[in-house]
Structure 1
Amino acid sequence: MRFALIVFSTAILAPHAFAEDFSVHSSQVDDLKAVIATVEPVHLLAARARIGGTIIRLKVKEGDRLTAGAEVGLVVDQKLALQIQALDSRIKSQQAQRDQAKIDFDRVTELRSRGISSQVQFDQARTALDVAERTAAAMRSDRDVIVQQTAEGTVLAPGAGRVLTVPASEGRVVLPGETLATLAEDNYVLRLSLPERHARFMRAGDDVLIAARGDQAEDNGAMRRGKVRIVYPEIQGGRVIADVDVGDLGDYFVGERTRVYLPTGKRDTILVPADAVYRRAGVNFVRLRDGAEVVVQPGETRPDGVEILSGLKDGDVVLRP
């Protein structure tokens, strides 16, 4: 029993034997302001119809992920098919005229070699053949244009991203330029809207802290770092707009809001190591070098210590384990 008491006493006194001093000094820190940022894509892409017609196939829905060039839908104009049929008939007719002009030209060439046909007849036959061939080529080009228009009925995704809205439906008639789907590019940013008095503190390249999603929004340990990408030079409605780059925002919803802490100036404060503050009976204490306990009011927890709002002054020496 005596041996157990000796061990217990040693366990109590050991922490005091290894305590070290920490001199408290006032220092300047960034004055962080909590604001709400919105997740926004860098670019919104619109998959538009290039021809007018009827939507006969729509292959996407809200939330789908698309790669660049993926098919969104198919627009068909029945008049284009009729125009192709009409041109095919005209091309066949013109081809027959071209064949007849070729036969006439060959006959005149044969007669001229015998000295029977004149130069005028030869020139007329050659001109008629050239006109027939060029007219047939022009008709084939017109047909190629209509075939290309038919192929442009396939609406493709202009880039990779997630489908946000699909304002069209199968069977609907659309005009050239109408949107079949809106996509958010895979690159997302946090968009800030701040009062204009903070505009002078914001610079591209500044670091900011981003709180975690959900219930951990106030947990400083769960924060991530971001960097101000751009501060827009135009103030709208008394507010300055800025974008913040953060990695791994792809699982956020577009328009989702999260808390961001950004510096809005400097202020003086006292920082002590986090392990120097201990709590007893609902009150926070620190121990000074002379052994006195001082009641303190802790503030924000920072990477280099805990901010002390009251209870300590510049020059105090605090004991830490």
Structure 2
Amino acid sequence: MARLHFRFLVAIASLLSSVVAAGADTLTVKPVSIADEKAVFATVESISVVPARSRIGGTIAELHVREGDAVTHGQAIAVVGDEKLVLQMKSLDAQIQALQAQSDQAQTDFDRIEGLVERGTLPRTRLDEARTALNVAQNNLRAKTAERGVIQQQQTEGQVLAPQDGRVLKRLVAVGSVVLPGDPVVTVAQQDFKLRLRLPEEHAHFLKAGDRIRLDGDESGERVAKWGVIDLVYPQIEEGRVVADATVEGLGEYFVGDRLRVWISGGTRPAYVIPAGFVKTRFGIDYVLLRQGDGTVEVPVQRGRQTPTPELPNGLEILSGIRAGDQLERP
């Protein structure tokens, strides 16, 4: 029995402490300057989309990627095969073997004639002729070996390499397709995605680099809003619209061209913004607890729109019912 009485006293004490803590959570109402936000649509776009091109002509023998795959700079994404290069390589190998035999024979003749000339059996002119023949044979071997290196380099260039880190947007060929030097094989979007805004031209005077934009959590598939910064406002107006790029942390890295609704600033105005937790709703009417003297009274207020900020993610605009200097308590 004593143990139950002790637990009851502990529960009462904890309840009283929570009530005191809740009563201590107060807020002084003061006007703040907020952005007059307007909803616009933006598209997810890559900074640059570049094609991965074939460096030689031939037939696509291998294709290692498909739409949506992530690639890194220099990664082999396809192989272009040319049967003529294989035949040329076999022909050069046979010619190199023949020239190697000629060079070996010329070296043998030079060594033998050099020995005979030293013993005085043959005149020195025969040694000069043998040296010339040896030099010609060796130079012919070097030239043919270099020609083989050119063909081998062409075979190496049959690999189509990714021009940058990013994601494959589209495959333009299939295995067996015939390509020419410079033909695109796939298109690669650079991995750093941005939001591209196209706004009516009347916003051109309000929009500037460094302005913050807000992306609703529903648009990004998350519960909290995301914030971004406008990086660049393009100086040219296209078809009555001003174009701007914005960076948003944690923006999706898969879909390019995805349309999202974002909120931009169309100017500023004064307003009363309080945390949403200070407002309680009963029978469809919103109330706040207003401190008067030693007590509090419930005052009906008119709720405005959600006004989240980086400092106050759950901010709520109050249109009427409170004024500057009022002391509010959390219900």
TM-score norm. by structure 1 comes to 0.78
| Larger displacement relative to structure 2 (280-289 or 152-161) | 280-289
Decide whether the 8 Å contact of 1:288 with 1:316 is kept in 2: no
Equivalent position amino acid for 2:63 in 1:
L
Structure 1 residue 319, shift from structure 2 partner: 4.8
CA offsets 1:255-307 (integer angstroms, 9 cap, x no match): 11112222232223233453554445444455767768555352343345432
Are residue 112 (structure 1) and residue 117 (structure 2) matched?
A: yes
> What percentage of residue pairs aligned between the two structures are identical?
43
| Larger displacement relative to structure 2 (116-125 or 53-62) | 116-125
Partner residue, 2:233: 231
Which residue, 150, 153, 158 being the options, matches 2:155? 150
Which residue, 71, 96, 102 being the options, matches 2:101? 96
Query: For the aligned residues, what is the CA RMSD?
Result: 3.4
Partner residue, 1:65: 70
Decide whether the 8 Å contact of 1:49 with 1:178 is kept in 2: yes
Decide whether the 8 Å contact of 2:42 with 2:262 is kept in 1: yes
Which residue, 290, 302, 305 being the options, matches 1:299? 305
Give 1:121-270 correspondences, 5 Å limit. 121-214=126-219, 222-270=224-272
SS in 2 for 1:236: coil
Partner residue, 1:32: 37
Structure 1 residue 139, shift from structure 2 partner: 0.3
| Larger displacement relative to structure 2 (104-113 or 256-265) | 104-113
In structure 2, relative to structure 1, the CA distance for the partners of 1:276 and 1:89 (3 Å cut) is closer
Partner residue, 1:50: 55
| Larger displacement relative to structure 2 (250-259 or 129-138) | 250-259
| Larger displacement relative to structure 2 (248-257 or 139-148) | 248-257
Decide whether the 8 Å contact of 1:84 with 1:147 is kept in 2: yes
In structure 2, relative to structure 1, the CA distance for the partners of 1:115 and 1:237 (3 Å cut) is farther
In structure 2, relative to structure 1, the CA distance for the partners of 1:227 and 1:307 (3 Å cut) is same
In structure 2, relative to structure 1, the CA distance for the partners of 1:282 and 1:137 (3 Å cut) is same
Equivalent position amino acid for 1:262 in 2:
I
SS in 2 for 1:94: helix
CA distance in structure 2 between the aligned counterparts of 1:40 and 1:107, rounded to whole angstroms: 75
Equivalent position amino acid for 1:224 in 2:
K
Structure 1 residue 171, shift from structure 2 partner: 1.1
Partner residue, 1:10: none
TM-score norm. by structure 2 comes to 0.76
CA offsets 1:150-181 (integer angstroms, 9 cap, x no match): 12222233344332211111111111122222
In structure 2, relative to structure 1, the CA distance for the partners of 1:118 and 1:242 (3 Å cut) is farther
CA offsets 1:66-110 (integer angstroms, 9 cap, x no match): 344443222110000111122122222322332333233234323
Alignment: residue pair count? 303
Structure 1 residue 120, shift from structure 2 partner: 3.8
Structure 1 residue 196, shift from structure 2 partner: 3.6
CA offsets 1:102-137 (integer angstroms, 9 cap, x no match): 233234323332335444443332122112101111
Structure 1 residue 207, shift from structure 2 partner: 2.7
CA distance in structure 2 between the aligned counterparts of 1:223 and 1:90, rounded to whole angstroms: 71
SS in 1 for 2:267: strand
In structure 2, relative to structure 1, the CA distance for the partners of 1:119 and 1:293 (3 Å cut) is same
SS in 1 for 2:217: coil
Structure 1 residue 30, shift from structure 2 partner: 1.7
